[in-house]
Amino acid sequence: MSRSKEEAIAAGVQVRETQHKMKRRKPWHDYHRKGTYMVTLVVEGRRPVLGKLIMSAEEQDTSVELTALGKAIRNEEVQKISAIYKMVEVWKLCIMPDHIHMIVRIKEDLPEGKHLGHIVAGFKGGCSRAWWRMGRPCADAQRVVAATDAQRVVAATDAQRVVAATDAQRVVAATTPAASAAGMPSLFERGYNDLILLNDSQLDNWKHYLDDNPRRLAIKRLHPDFFTTLNYIDIAEWHCQI
């Protein structure tokens, strides 16, 4: 028989909210090689700055209405990935109020010294700059972006310097929080989560998961007890949430 969160607490059960680890890398996988991934990025502090959940009265039709920042990420920043890395395609995108899912296909091995982390770091940096341009988190953001843009114009007179500088910045960004060099906060939490496509049947499941995300969020908001961890139990080497 199920019981509510409040009943579980009253009964002395240790209750914890489900926490998702966002920095899982597979040590056995070469992220430089071609492959297909589902990448998840979470906004720092889970701020719902990317969109607003729209629910119908019957809970059957749910969607996310993107903010100006969400639209800029969808229409501009996502497109830059393939513009910079010709061998990379974003097959599917799901922008939620406080996080983003992308199915990313790397069609051929990345250039030497590059891996999935460089792509994600560059994307995160671009999203942060879009956030600053919109006046958040402070007015100084506009001056930072303007200075950065001016530097790019000057550097553009020497294409080799542009490429070298951009590559160097991406390498640094892959190992440090996005936007740290400018002294501005990153839009996203440090790190990201990735899943690796191991067989074709997974792809349909991923696409369904992305399509179903707004409905799942609606259920979570209307029925939060469905997503509450009541206890932990060890089964062999597994530490399970129940």
pLDDT, tens digit (0-9, with 9 covering 90-100), for 196-216: 999 988 999 999 999 999 999
Asked if 214 and 157 count as a contact pair (C-beta separation under 8 A), the reply is: no
Indicate whether 100 pLDDT > 70. Answer: yes
How confident is the model over 162-187, as pLDDT tens digits? 334 444 444 334 434 445 545 789 99
**Residue 224: what pLDDT?**
83
**Residue 56: what pLDDT?**
78
**With 0-12 CB in 10 A as exposed, 13-18 as middle and 19+ as buried, what is 229?**
middle
- Residues 54-62: what's their mean pLDDT? 78
- Residues 7-30: what's their mean pLDDT? 64
- What rounded mean pLDDT belongs to the chain? 79
**Residue 239: what pLDDT?**
66
Indicate whether 21 pLDDT > 70. Answer: no
**Residue 189: what pLDDT?**
95
Q: What is the CATH number of domain 19-229?
A: 3.30.70.1290
- Residues 41-63: what's their mean pLDDT? 90
What is the percent of the chain where pLDDT is above 90?
54
Q: Which residues, listed in sequence order, are joined to residue 52 by a DSSP beta bridge?
A: 65
How confident is the model over 130-146, as pLDDT tens digits? 999 998 754 444 444 45
Q: How confident is the model at residue 241 (pLDDT cuts 50, 70, 90)?
A: low
How confident is the model over 90-99, as pLDDT tens digits? 999 999 999 9
Task: Determine what percent of the chain falls in helix, strand and coil, rounding each to the nearest 5.
Answer: 45, 20, 35
**Residue 234: what pLDDT?**
77
- pLDDT higher for 112 or 6? 112
Q: Does residue 6 sit in helix, strand or coil?
A: helix
- CA-nearest of 227, 224, 226, 229 to 9 is 229
- pLDDT higher for 138 or 75? 75
- pLDDT higher for 199 or 153? 199
**Residue 10: what pLDDT?**
73
Q: Does residue 91 sit in helix, strand or coil?
A: strand
